[in-house]
């Protein structure tokens, strides 16, 4: 029996806190997401695309795993450990 594999996850952080993630669905059924900082209100908009050909975005494009939470903790984010990551998205 093999052990389950885990992958690294990118955590969106601003002002030393995890950013909030919300999904919005428009009247025409299109959807988008927004990462929002609860401290400074900085935001990043994410557009939903299906069946994306990563090559269309340039050489070396990769899909990454990002954590999204509508209610992230309100505590300061601890810094990542100093041990090296074996992440294939870098």
The rounded distance, in Å, linking the Cα atoms of 39 and 54 is: 33
- Predicted model pTM: 0.68
| pLDDT, one tens digit for every residue, the chain (90 residues) | 666 666 778 889 999 999 999 999 989 988 899 999 999 999 999 988 877 788 888 888 888 878 888 888 888 877 766 556 665 555
What is the pLDDT at residue 67? Answer: 82
State the pLDDT at residue 34.
95
Locate the domains of the chain by residue range.
Answer: 1-48
- Return the pLDDT at 8: 79
């Amino acid at each position: 029996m093999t052990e389950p594999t885990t992958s690294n996850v990118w955590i969106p952080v601003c002002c030393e806190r995890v950013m909030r993630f919300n999904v919005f669905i428009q009247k025409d059924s299109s959807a988008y997401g927004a990462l929002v900082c609860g401290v400074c209100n900085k935001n990043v908009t994410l557009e939903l695309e299906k069946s994306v050909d990563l090559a269309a975005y340039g050489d070396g494009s990769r899909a990454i795993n990002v954590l999204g939470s509508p209610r992230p903790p309100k505590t300061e984010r601890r810094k990542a450990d100093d041990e090296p990551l074996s992440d294939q998205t870098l």
